[in-house]
Amino acid sequence: MRAAPKIVLERHNVRVIGDTGPTVVLAHGFGTTQASWNHVIDALPGDARLVLFDLIGMSAATDQHYAVSDYPDLWAYARDLLAILAAAGIERCHYVGHSVSGMIGLLASIRDPSRFEKLILIGASPCYRSLEGYPGGFEQSTISAMVTAMAGDYSAWVESFAPAVAAAPRGDPTTDDFVNCLRSMRPDVALSVALTIFGSDHRAHLPLARTPCVVAQTRQDMAVPMAVAAFLRDTLPDAVLEVIDAHGHLPHMAAPDQVAALLRRHLALDRGPHPAAEPPQRS
């Protein structure tokens, strides 16, 4: 049974900022929440309607709604995204997805292309594993060791994983924020979601995409090598690659002005004061 719009909006903590101009959906990645976009939002214009939400199981606020059987793959998250758009009355939008949310948005656009004007994929990957002829970034042995570390001592794993992903040591604001977000997740849920993400392989689905894409990638990212960004650009039917002059997997947190400039340029947004946040319309 399909959930009522109000329930969908509440369970995903949907937040809408502004009520005029183009609709831009901002989707966060693993280990973060919609708050990871806050500094980017500050640098965006006031003539855009921004929509933010939390992915089920990928933030502490949504752990209670997570069940392994409900989220066996990324298609389940794509289904959630389409449900959010429908519940919020969004007929068409520009979609910005960080990390795994990039692929979630792409899958949703394949399922219902009428909802999407353009996709901006920041640090996205169709497959995080290095396979024959494909340098995904993680060897299977590395993934197995990570899973063992997460299951054995989650807090210690966070302390080693976060600085590597952020490409900055502890004490750096981006790294510390990422540590706090990861620590706020239930370890069992974090492990289950990580297994889903690292087990995904959507390379075969890329040619099915019909929405124009911007593949945005930092110069150095331990989670997503530049070769993966090039693979996306070359495999998607309509895509361009733009390099963000930053390091690490979290440019929207570490270099928000550069990410905001990229969004303004590719979404044709103008500068201007930003309106106060408003609750989503619920029916």
Measured CA to CA, the distance from residue 22 to residue 143 in angstroms comes to: 40
Q: How far is CA 122 from CA 86, 98, 148, 215, in A?
A: 24, 5, 28, 6
Residue 112, Ramachandran bin (φ over 0: left; ψ between -120 and 50: alpha; else beta): beta
Helix (H, G, I), strand (E, B) or coil at 76: helix
Of 74, 70, 86, 78, which is closest to residue 108 (Cα–Cα)? Answer: 78
Measured CA to CA, the distance from residue 133 to residue 143 in angstroms comes to: 18
What DSSP character marks residue 204?
A: G
249 is catalytic: yes
Element (H, E) at 187: helix 187-198
172 is catalytic: no
Measured CA to CA, the distance from residue 71 to residue 93 in angstroms comes to: 24
Rounded to the nearest 10 degrees, the angle between the axes of helix 74-87 and helix 100-111 is 70
Rounded to the nearest 10 degrees, the angle between the axes of helix 154-166 and helix 140-152 is 130
192 is catalytic: no
The one catalytic residue among 54, 80, 177, 221:
221
The one catalytic residue among 28, 98, 249, 252:
249
Say if residues 70 and 1 touch (Cβ distance below 8 Å): no
The one catalytic residue among 12, 54, 94, 99:
99
- The alpha carbons of the chain give a radius of gyration, in whole angstroms, of 17
Alpha helices in 88-186 (DSSP H): 100-111, 140-152, 154-166, 173-184
Residues classed as catalytic: 99, 221, 249
